[in-house]
């Protein structure tokens, strides 16, 4: 593509100038491979953007979307519904931990997060505790890009340009050099959950609505929770009447080798956000799943029956095409035993990625389920240049991997074969060794 053809498109989360001087354009995808504009096959090492675990172009999903477009392309989201919205909501609850039974649809992960934060505040108002407004996230957390999400989020680059957000505090992140090169969940660090007690001491629980964390921080570079950490957060939240929100936009629907991160780590939140894998990335969709108690609180405290209990929603909430894609995706996930497959391939990824330990410039390696990341040492004061260069080198070798901050990230397709794991890890190792 020439510069003129690329002029109008302002790309998201992309160095536009660098991209436009060396474009990376995909023109097709099938299974675990993209086809680049120059005809090369590119292995999809991040399942799209943690979206396409089942692989690309799955016939059942493609056909479901096509049929739905022909039958009912759109139906108004407010005051009306279509059958697949109910069906998908029911189906999603099959994958949720016990007690999470009410599904509110959104158009993306960012919208799901802001919805969950609003629900949390509104819930306390409905319960007559209007002072409970403060929201607590975590340093290095990623909760999308809307104002609520960046306020509780903890990645500086995503916050610093935008001025005043909403009132939020942050727990410390759980990365520590003591835990470097841990396989799966690190042994040390559960005590960091107790930092929540300091925030409660500072603000009083009467002013705190909710705590939001990703069970495994994804965008910051696959940071699995220390053993016991999430259980301790749950304990403190319950004890102090604070809602716990798990942002499972990446961890939901299989990536952890379980239906959810909640299931993988044995901790149930009050609200759970999801997106991405729910439709295998084929149509945008997100959702918040709430406990029955939260839903019921809105139903019981909203006046006459014709009154709207939660004045919130999106034009594209429960979009028919997304619902059709979601139903087909969850059917395949179950039919093909994909969650079990992730569980069985996770140790293969773990062994392969940790074999890069000792490679010059690699200062940490982490993994959980079919997700893994490595941290590279900065070049001078620039922490992001090396992962960026490695991702580019991998692209030129035929592998798509993600660079984010000082990390390189893998989110392999659930259908991945052992030989492909070796190939992508080798490409990363080789590319790191080629760096200055």
Which residues touch 141 (CB under 8 Å, ≥6 apart)?
Answer: 152, 153, 154, 155, 170, 173, 212, 213, 214, 217, 220, 247
Quote the CA–CA distance of 86 and 92 in Å, as a whole number: 10
Q: Does 374 bind ligand PLP (CB under 6 A)?
A: no
Q: Which of 34, 104, 142, 295 binds ligand PLP (CB under 6 A)?
A: 142
Q: Does 218 bind ligand PLP (CB under 6 A)?
A: yes
Q: Does 373 bind ligand PLP (CB under 6 A)?
A: no
Residues 143-172 that bind ligand PLP (CB under 6 A): 143-144
Residue 109, φ and ψ in degrees, nearest 5: -65, -40
Stretch that binds ligand PLP, among 95-103, 139-147, 322-330, 388-396 (CB under 6 A): 139-147
Q: CA separation (Å) from 6 to 10, 22, 196? A: 9, 11, 47
If the CB atoms of residues 137 and 226 are measured against ligand PLP, the closer one turns out to be 137
Quote the CA–CA distance of 361 and 181 in Å, as a whole number: 13
Q: CB 164 → ligand PLP: shortest distance, Å? A: 21
Residues 319-358 that bind ligand PLP (CB under 6 A): none
Structure tokens at 373: 């990341």
Q: Does 219 bind ligand PLP (CB under 6 A)?
A: yes
Stretch that binds ligand PLP, among 54-62, 138-146, 322-330, 376-384 (CB under 6 A): 138-146
Q: CB 243 → ligand PLP: shortest distance, Å? A: 17
If the CB atoms of residues 68 and 110 are measured against ligand PLP, the closer one turns out to be 110
Strand ranges, E, within 107-152: 134-138
Q: Does 291 bind ligand PLP (CB under 6 A)?
A: no
If the CB atoms of residues 237 and 250 are measured against ligand PLP, the closer one turns out to be 250
Q: Does residue 375 contact residue 221 with C-beta atoms inside 8 Å?
A: yes
Q: Does residue 249 contact residue 274 with C-beta atoms inside 8 Å?
A: yes
Q: CB 269 → ligand PLP: shortest distance, Å? A: 13
Quote the CA–CA distance of 174 and 139 in Å, as a whole number: 9
* CA 341, 216, 110, 384 torsion-angle sign: negative
Q: Does 250 bind ligand PLP (CB under 6 A)?
A: yes
Q: Does 246 bind ligand PLP (CB under 6 A)?
A: no
Stretch that binds ligand PLP, among 84-92, 122-130, 245-253, 356-364 (CB under 6 A): 245-253
Q: Which of 68, 101, 110, 407 binds ligand PLP (CB under 6 A)?
A: 110
Stretch that binds ligand PLP, among 106-114, 289-297, 322-330, 396-404 (CB under 6 A): 106-114
Residue 85, φ and ψ in degrees, nearest 5: -65, -45
Which residues touch 276 (CB under 8 Å, ≥6 apart)?
Answer: 49, 50, 51, 109, 249, 250, 252, 253
Q: Does 114 bind ligand PLP (CB under 6 A)?
A: no
Cβ of 225: how many Cβ atoms within 10 Å?
27
Binding site for ligand PLP (CB under 6 A): 108-110, 113, 142-144, 214, 218-219, 247, 249-250, 275, 286
């Amino acid at each position: 593509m020439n510069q003129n053809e690329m002029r109008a498109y302002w790309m998201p989360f992309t160095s536009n100038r660098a991209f436009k001087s060396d474009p990376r354009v995909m023109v097709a995808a099938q299974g675990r491979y993209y086809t680049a504009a120059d005809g090369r096959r590119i292995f999809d090492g991040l399942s799209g953007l943690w979206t396409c675990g089942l692989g690309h172009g799955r016939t059942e999903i493609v056909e479901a979307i096509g049929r739905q477009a022909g039958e009912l392309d759109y139906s108004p989201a407010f005051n009306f519904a279509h059958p697949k919205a109910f069906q998908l909501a029911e189906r999603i609850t099959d994958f949720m931990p016990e007690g999470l039974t009410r599904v509110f649809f959104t158009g993306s992960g960012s919208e799901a997060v802001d919805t969950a934060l609003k629900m949390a505040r509104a819930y306390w108002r409905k319960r007559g505790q209007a002072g409970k407004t403060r929201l607590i996230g975590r340093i290095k957390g990623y909760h999308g890009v809307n104002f609520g999400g960046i306020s509780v989020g903890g990645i500086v680059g995503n916050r610093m340009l935008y001025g005043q957000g909403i009132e939020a505090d942050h727990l410390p992140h759980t990365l520590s050099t003591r835990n470097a090169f841990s396989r799966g969940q690190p042994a040390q660090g559960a005590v960091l959950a107790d930092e929540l007690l300091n925030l409660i001491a500072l603000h009083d629980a009467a002013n705190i609505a909710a705590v939001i964390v990703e069970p495994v921080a994804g965008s910051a570079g696959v940071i699995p929770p220390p053993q016991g950490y999430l259980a301790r957060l749950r304990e403190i939240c319950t004890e102090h009447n604070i809602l716990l929100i798990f942002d499972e936009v990446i961890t939901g629907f299989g990536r952890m080798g379980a239906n959810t991160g909640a299931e993988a780590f044995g901790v149930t939140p009050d609200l759970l956000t999801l997106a991405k894998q729910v439709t295998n990335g084929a149509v945008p969709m997100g959702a918040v799943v709430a406990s029955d108690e939260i839903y019921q609180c809105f139903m019981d405290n909203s006046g006459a029956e014709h009154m709207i209990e939660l004045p919130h929603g999106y034009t594209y909430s429960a979009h028919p095409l997304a619902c059709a894609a979601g139903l087909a995706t969850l059917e395949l996930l179950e039919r093909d035993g994909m969650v079990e497959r992730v569980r069985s391939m996770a140790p293969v990824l773990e062994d392969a990625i940790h074999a890069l330990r000792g490679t010059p410039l690699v200062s940490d390696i982490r993994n959980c389920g079919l997700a893994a990341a490595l941290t590279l040492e900065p070049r001078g004061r620039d922490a992001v240049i090396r992962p960026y260069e490695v991702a580019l080198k991998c692209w030129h070798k035929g592998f798509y991997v993600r660079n984010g901050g000082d990390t390189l990230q893998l989110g392999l397709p659930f259908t991945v074969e052992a030989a492909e794991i070796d190939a992508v890890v080798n490409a990363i190792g080789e590319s790191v060794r080629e760096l200055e």
